[in-house]
Structure 1
């Protein structure tokens, strides 16, 4: 049952967590671009998020476990987003070296939205199965 719509949403969340951090910078201080690899915590959290999305895709037979894994992934992305917000508030824009925030800081938000949509689709499938079981 890999052709379900929640698999597409979880696949997009996995791509956002696994590949897009290599493309988009998190922030820039002076002439130096900072990507997620500059901090081991960011790299570990992005990697764990991508792994949880892949694991959730592979557990397509157990919808309840998929739902729980997506919830854990959302919590992980909220932690990552919180770290980015904390870091962006500590970046001083008033220094002689002008700092700017990159679009990579918003990647956890995209991942969270995709996971919420996947959980809605999983809930819809679960309700459909329960309604069919009632008719038997």
Structure 2
């Protein structure tokens, strides 16, 4: 059902992953150039993939198990994205190429929180359906 709370959580995760990457910079280099996620192809693909997974799992509401699995895959994808950001910021010892980190580096963390909340609500719905099936 589309009116469930996990739909709201998944929409928030999709909005963060696919929408806010165009507003918040990932980092600023030593030369003063601001780098957004859409400037780097890998980050753009991972962010948009995360957003598409969130939107796709909204419309698979009849298959809660698959919806739960897609939520977990999306969380793993966001952890990879966060790992790439950490690697990029620590790539050079001493002074890094990334002189100032932007709020865009923390977008995967916020997305992971909303995806975990959505998975918790999906699990709760699945448990409710299983308990009603036992009574029949």
Cα offset, 1:94, TM superposition:
3.5
Distance 2:51 2:36 in 1: 17
Cα offset, 1:98, TM superposition:
8.0
For residues 1-136 of structure 1, what are the structure 2 equivalents within 5 Å?
Answer: 1-29=1-29, 30-90=31-91, 94=95, 99-136=99-136
Please report the TM-score for the alignment, with normalisation by the length of structure 1: 0.94
SS across alignment from 1:90: coil
User: Moved runs in structure 1, 4+ residues, more than 4 A?
Assistant: none
Distance 2:104 2:95 in 1: 22
Distance 1:27 1:100 in 2: 6
Cα offset, 1:38, TM superposition:
1.8
Distance 1:23 1:99 in 2: 19
Runs of 5+ unmatched residues, structure 1: none
Is contact 2:16-2:107 (8 Å) kept?
Answer: yes
Once the two structures are superposed, residues 23-58 of structure 1 have per-residue CA deviations (whole angstroms, 9 ceiling, x without a partner) of 000000132000012211001001110110010001
Please report the TM-score for the alignment, with normalisation by the length of structure 2: 0.94
Q: Aligned pair in 2 of structure 1 residues 93, 25: CA closer, same or farther (>3 Å)? A: farther
Runs of 5+ unmatched residues, structure 2: none
Once the two structures are superposed, residues 52-93 of structure 1 have per-residue CA deviations (whole angstroms, 9 ceiling, x without a partner) of 001000101110010000011011000000000000112677
Distance 2:94 2:21 in 1: 23
